Structure 1
């Protein structure tokens, strides 16, 4: 049979019809020979022995002999007789036996019973072989007959061909992937990597399954996606889906125009939203989340620090674990029975520097302006001044009450005496006024010095003119060394500068511009985000449209502006225009030097979770203010009660002429506080009398006494 393999194709073609007809014959064969077994020839025993040894190869026999069986229509009787001794030795030559069987024409009726078992298994094998051969003949009927002898060598060649494809490449650039090819579908697009797709005009897609689908988009890294116009996605599985959005790290999502997400697992979802660090979430227009797992959950919200949460629009959470709450209007309060209105009583949002049970002190707070319209924070020294004033008031009140005369007329006299003190106070102010006049004179004198300063500057101007001439003739040039630019129209012209993104520009030395149309023109400046600008030396601008023109200034958030020297603006559209000023929160304005602003006029914020101040420049919280208010209320109650008690004492009638002793009671009221008094007056003689009394109120007792001598 092994030698027959080369002709299997022609065998399967010719035998495909014969085997199917033989199957039906074999079924009837087993039935028709059931009665003829008794007359079987004497040579059946040797035939059954020979067939038993042939049984193990019946399967291959049934396949190779299919052509012979189809033409076997003669009687098997003579076959069994003539081959009874030959079958045992014919096993090795089955091929020639199958040829001999084709000429056999004896009857099948005399086939022995001993072969029925073998025929059954043979029938089964032929049946399954028939279906296989039929499908084989159908699928390979064309071409297989001539290709069969060469298939083995072809299979070997294909195996080595597959190996060659996987290891292919050019020098310094190799691939090892069976993924689909990259596609650069957009005009002037670049696609590098398995299944990388750059479908936008001038887009760049580099990495396994990287996708840059819009004009000028840049996607670098495995499954990096840049679908926003001129967006930038760098790293594994980053997504930049807003126009000008930037997502860098593993994996970050920047959704919204100018959104920025840098680090790991950050999400910036909203126009101009910024999320920097790890697992931070900035949701809403102009929101800002920096740190680790911080959350800015609404438009204009700012969360700075690990686990900081700014829950409401324009809220600010400063510091690790800080949490904001809903702003609570406090437009007025009842103090000592009188209602007082407050400026900034309708806050729009909240600034938090801690959380309930985890408050922080705010230190190094400058003294705030104190007026009926001021919304400045006050520090500990200002609170201390109020406390001292209250203590002085309490002492003065006590002294005045102790010297209260027995009659209202004498009280009036005391007030007259006080008036004279006020006059001297006025005189003192007049003296101060004269000092101001002399100050004015001093300034006038200084003006002459200013004039000489002006003259000196004029002299310097001449030098500057010559300096300008020298520079012009000297031909000073600045060459870009070590600059790196990535993206359509990107330009890194400053020394050691970096520009990434469409039309990004880094012209300052050591400057970095990242994002579409970003501009870092100041030395050592950083501009991050679409259309961000850092023009001051050492300045930083982060967020869409953020601007830091001041030297050392920092602007964080969409449209934030830090124009003052060393100024800081945190939050969407916040503005810090004065030197060393800080504006915290969306739309906050810091326009005075060395100030911190948490809002703007008519848009103030509450400062929450503030620990009690200790140092002279620490911020005070409401508990401390309430403590002062409580002291004021207590002093007012005592003062009002004292006036009522003094009035009650004066209402006690004195001893009449000709009488020796008089005992009386009195009552008085002042500002809603009442008091009663009891007193005794004694006339020792016509010229000498004395009076003692005690006034009582809910706040305490007032004692008084007096002696008069008349002549």
Structure 2
């Protein structure tokens, strides 16, 4: 028991001394340079700079500090606090806080970049994240040779390079600033299970849109019903009139009732109400109509008919009678 404890203590001391070395290389052709670097593996595994770690075949760190390269042919070239893991993962540039995980994943020129997945790439800007096979987030693409920041691409061949843009899903493209894309032209997607929007900047779901469509139909039917109300000409013996109408719009109906009242021949008041068939929408109106200028109308009474009028009427009656007699 005492011998076993001694072995454990000795092993611990050796490990502590080994880890405290300013730099070490373990395995065939492993190389280290400057201070506090660690190279573990073979075939040109190397670490240069300060506080760097290169693990596995061909893992390489050139310059910078506190970088980690893990995997076959992984590379970290310049920069600090960077991590490259898996076959062919590559980080290039003087940025910090970058991560490339996956076969041929690449992070190029920027800080706080993340590329995760086979062939995923993030670069030419800051705070870009690409997750998924061949996903890309950043700038310097197509007809935009400028850097782009704060982009996120998630999905197979998803691309986000508009600036503060997000692309979600297979082959989705976000190429405009401050946008979220779930597809591309001719490859659109639906967004399901969206709650009804509440604030002015919230998205609207189909239930809210259909509700608005129904409201428009009800309002349209009410407007048509209201337009069907109309008064008759002024009658001094009956100054009050009633009117009713029914209207329909896109299959939705409404009824309207109106009242018209003449206080004198040149002034008329009117009031009307309308309601949709389902009673969800209601409407009311009040108005007044008056006439100005021109001669005042005179009712046709025996006292207002002059002799010349009588002669004209009498002549007209004779002509009509003569025509009828001749026709016989």
Distance 2:70 2:149 in 1: 27
Distance 2:200 2:254 in 1: 39
Q: Is the Cα contact below 8 Å between 1:642 and 1:702 reproduced in 2?
A: no
Equivalent residue number for residue 120 of structure 2: 546
Equivalent residue number for residue 661 of structure 1: 238
Equivalent residue number for residue 511 of structure 1: 82
Of 557, 575, 590, the match for 2:132: 557
Distance 1:671 1:628 in 2: 14
Q: 1:706 Cα shift?
A: 4.1
1:613 aligns with 2:186: no
SS in structure 2 opposite 1:555? strand
TM score, norm. by length of structure 2: 0.58
Gap change, CA 1:631 and 1:681, over 3 Å in 2: closer
SS in structure 2 opposite 1:506? strand
Gap change, CA 1:617 and 1:557, over 3 Å in 2: same
Count of residues in Structure 1 that have an aligned counterpart in Structure 2: 229
Q: Is the Cα contact below 8 Å between 1:598 and 1:605 reproduced in 2?
A: yes
Q: 1:661 Cα shift?
A: 3.0
1:531 aligns with 2:104: yes
Q: 1:510 Cα shift?
A: 2.5
How is 1:242-253 mapped onto 2 (pairs within 5 angstroms)? none
Equivalent residue number for residue 482 of structure 1: 51
How is 1:65-76 mapped onto 2 (pairs within 5 angstroms)? none
Distance 2:209 2:133 in 1: 36
How is 1:266-285 mapped onto 2 (pairs within 5 angstroms)? none
Distance 1:603 1:664 in 2: 59
The structure with higher relative contact order (CA 8 Å, sep 6+) is 1
Equivalent residue number for residue 578 of structure 1: 162
Distance 1:593 1:531 in 2: 28
SS in structure 2 opposite 1:609? coil
Equivalent residue number for residue 638 of structure 1: 222
Structure with the greater alpha carbon radius of gyration: 1
Q: Is the Cα contact below 8 Å between 1:483 and 1:492 reproduced in 2?
A: yes
Distance 1:559 1:660 in 2: 88
Q: Is the Cα contact below 8 Å between 2:225 and 2:246 reproduced in 1?
A: no
How is 1:215-226 mapped onto 2 (pairs within 5 angstroms)? none
Q: Is the Cα contact below 8 Å between 1:541 and 1:547 reproduced in 2?
A: yes
Q: Which has the higher strand share?
A: 2
User: Structure 2: which 5+ residue stretches go unaligned?
Assistant: 1-9, 12-26, 28-40, 42-46, 139-147, 277-281, 297-328
TM score, norm. by length of structure 1: 0.29
Q: Is the Cα contact below 8 Å between 1:655 and 1:681 reproduced in 2?
A: no
Q: Which has the higher helix share?
A: 1
SS in structure 2 opposite 1:548? strand
How is 1:398-413 mapped onto 2 (pairs within 5 angstroms)? none
Equivalent residue number for residue 62 of structure 2: 493
Q: 1:519 Cα shift?
A: 0.4
Q: 1:705 Cα shift?
A: 5.3
Distance 2:131 2:203 in 1: 25
Q: 1:707 Cα shift?
A: 5.0
